[in-house]
Amino acid sequence: MHDPDAEETPDTLPQPPDEADASSAPVPALRSVQAEPVQVKGGATGGGEDEMVVVLQDSEHLAPQPAVLSPAAYALVQLFDGRRNAAEIAELFEQMYGQEVPVEQVHALKRELDQALFLNSPHFEKTIKAQLVGYLKAKVRPEAHAGQAYPEEPAELRKTVEGFFTLPGGPGALPPAQPAAAHSLRALMLPHIDLRVGGAAYAHGYKELLEKSQADLFVVLGVAHQALAEGTFYVSRKHFCTPFGEVKTERGLAGRLQKKAGLEEAMAEFAHKSEHSIEFQTTLLQTLLHERAGRDFEIVPILCGSAEPFVEAEKNPCGDDRFKRFVETLGEELAHCKRRWCVIASVDLSHVGPKFGHSTSMDEKLLKPVARADRRMLGFLERLDASGFFQEILRTQNSRNVDAVMAMLALLTLGEGQLKQGKLLHYAQNFEAATKSAVTYASMSFE
């Protein structure tokens, strides 16, 4: 279900200027992108020889679609630095590659990428501002990944999610659709990897939740992958749309936490717009708890900022005033809310290989020491040792790009005096042969 009021439609968004291509004006710089070479069978039209193309993905997920370029066009766009005009770019390209490029072709590529929101241009700024205004007016956050990372059609989604339990490596039969007999589970660490990849790991965690939790309030700690402003916590007051309908946010609690986080409301909300780490959990909660078991619940959606400033400063976030005030406030709110609650940290572990900035290509052999390092790190979480966990991250300078740091520190700090132990339920690695890279992830319960 898409919220039609979430943002302006593409037809109403600003259009790039139909300029007479001011020759002396600098071509806007290329925004932060992820570039991946892809072999296209039969060529771009499907009727010729195989062809190599370069697919550009927006690192901030603001462009609605990827851009597909030829290798030559990708080389050309690398010269879009915001300082050179089209003629200078064409001249430099010829000097570097010995190939003449008409200035008109530079302008055409510029217009194409500007329309697709891949350039830091006035058109990009106007478009994002229009999207932001429309998004902030909406009370509901539309699902951003339905039909991609998980099925958009409700019946197919339910069948897919229920099938996670009997996947190879899964926990087995889906628990009966009945209330849990006890409320011993207080927190979970779950993946936020694509649901098509991590189904078995998700199932292990949700089996624990279905059997050991009577919660009707879920604090979901995600990762702020697309935040436009630096912050420690980003709280949303919006309800979350899923293929089964809305998941309600406890807006009073979320609003108080949003103020405590000390971040401008617009920036806090916009960080959630395309973020998947909370969307995946709301979708699974709605499918397994509400649709299957008939349980009503609310969420408190919180995205956690990067740990890198703390790693660089060699400072444990748990000692940071902003971190402490926020987590203490959340703890006080939960203690006085008179509801059964559960905290879900929606995180992945290591991100290794060229796709994530490493010079070393991964293979099955190199993934073994990654697993050993991950399990050492997970041992600190099982022992509820927040200090040891961060020291392990600090010891390696987070060289494996673990994105779970801030959420897990918040979970452990929030659970001090309440959690007895952690239990690793499932660990897995997703190796991507095309990029020689891998993401690792796990499920863990805390009682």
**Is pLDDT above 80 for 439?**
yes
**Is pLDDT above 70 for 63?**
yes
Shared-domain flag, residues 20 and 147: no
- Which residues, at least 6 apart from 307, have a Cβ–Cβ distance to it below 8 Å? 317, 393, 398, 405, 406
**Is pLDDT above 50 for 166?**
yes
Which of the 8 DSSP states describes residue 76?
Answer: H
How far apart CA 192 and CA 442 sit, in angstroms, is 10
State residue 182's pLDDT score: 87
How far apart CA 330 and CA 196 sit, in angstroms, is 32
Residue 248 φ then ψ, to 5°: -75, 140
Shared-domain flag, residues 77 and 145: no
Any domain includes 3:
no
How far apart CA 33 and CA 299 sit, in angstroms, is 32
Shared-domain flag, residues 189 and 257: yes
- C-beta separation of 363 from 371 below 8 A: no
- C-beta separation of 160 from 150 below 8 A: yes
Percentage of the chain beyond pLDDT 90 is: 79
Q: What's the CATH code of the domain at 292?
A: 3.40.830.10
Shared-domain flag, residues 68 and 196: no
Shared-domain flag, residues 225 and 328: yes
Query: What pLDDT band is residue 381 in, cutting at 50, 70 and 90?
Result: very high
Query: What pLDDT band is residue 47 in, cutting at 50, 70 and 90?
Result: low
- C-beta separation of 225 from 356 below 8 A: no
**Is pLDDT above 90 for 13?**
no
Tally the domains of the chain: 2
Residue 284: domain span: 141-446
3-class secondary structure, 318: helix
Shared-domain flag, residues 114 and 224: no
What integer best gives the mean pLDDT of the chain?
91
**pLDDT per position as a tens digit, 324-357:** 999 999 999 999 999 999 999 999 999 999 888 8
Q: Please, what is the end-to-end C-alpha distance for the chain in angstroms?
A: 35
Shared-domain flag, residues 337 and 371: yes
State residue 231's pLDDT score: 92
Shared-domain flag, residues 116 and 179: no
Any domain includes 2:
no
Listed residue (368, 352, 342, 384) closest to 427, CA to CA: 368
Any domain includes 136:
no
**Single pTM value for the model:** 0.81
CB atoms within 10 A of CB 300: 25
**pLDDT per position as a tens digit, 100-149:** 999 999 999 999 999 999 999 999 999 988 888 888 899 999 999 999 99
**Is pLDDT above 70 for 17?**
no
Any domain includes 99:
yes
How far apart CA 241 and CA 2 sit, in angstroms, is 7
- Domain termination residue (choose one: 66, 97, 130): 130
Shared-domain flag, residues 121 and 146: no
**Is pLDDT above 80 for 59?**
no
Mean pLDDT of 285-312: 96
Handedness of CA 392, 224, 34, 434 (dihedral sign): positive
Shared-domain flag, residues 86 and 225: no
Handedness of CA 143, 147, 149, 151 (dihedral sign): positive
Shared-domain flag, residues 147 and 87: no
Shared-domain flag, residues 162 and 261: yes
- Domain termination residue (choose one: 130, 160, 189): 130
- C-beta separation of 142 from 2 below 8 A: yes
